[in-house]
Amino acid sequence: MTALTAAVVLEAIAVDFLISQRLIRIIALVIAVYSVVMIWALIAAERIRPSYVGDQLVLRRGRKIFAKVPSELIKAVTKERTFAEQVNIDNNTLTLGGTHGTDTTITLNRPVEALRDTYPWQRRRTTPVTRIRLYTDGILDATNFRN
């Protein structure tokens, strides 16, 4: 995150030296500052609003909720490390990958509807899944789902 911010700042400085017109330089600076704010906001959204366990397991990234899983549908929670970085659904498995990959696999008794990762302007599409892979940093295990 710091490296990306530094790259945008260096780019803004380089553009400032390359462009001679004052108005265009100001516009380029505003765009650079806006992009840094947006990068930090997107990364902060993942940290501030992670998945959580209450009366059900809510799988989300930022404001987008991918699935809500009632605890009675959870059959098994196992530790299984993968290096998946994408959010996708393949072979009835929802993978919520990230920079750390995934470290937990949740097997379900019955399928639940999971939202595919789409852009805001795309139509929301759901798919039934029976397995979920996500990164929990060792916090989530079978004891979280005692009935």
pLDDT in tens, 75-124: 988 888 889 888 889 999 999 887 788 888 999 999 999 988 888 788 88
- For residue 89, the cross-strand partners are 94
Residues 7, 15: contact at Cβ < 8 Å?
A: no
Is the whole model's pTM more than 0.85, yes or no?
Answer: no
11-51 confidence digits (pLDDT tens): 888 988 888 899 999 999 999 999 889 888 877 877 766 77
Label residue 92 left, alpha or beta by phi (over 0 means left) and psi (-120 to 50 means alpha).
left
Residues 20-57 as b/e (b if ≥16 CB within 10 A, e otherwise) read eeeeebeebeeebeeebeeeeeeeeeeeeebbeeeebb
Q: In what order do the strands lie in the sheet containing 52-53?
A: 52-53, 56-61, 64-70
Name the DSSP letter for residue 49: S
Reported as a pLDDT band with limits 50, 70 and 90, residue 147 is very low
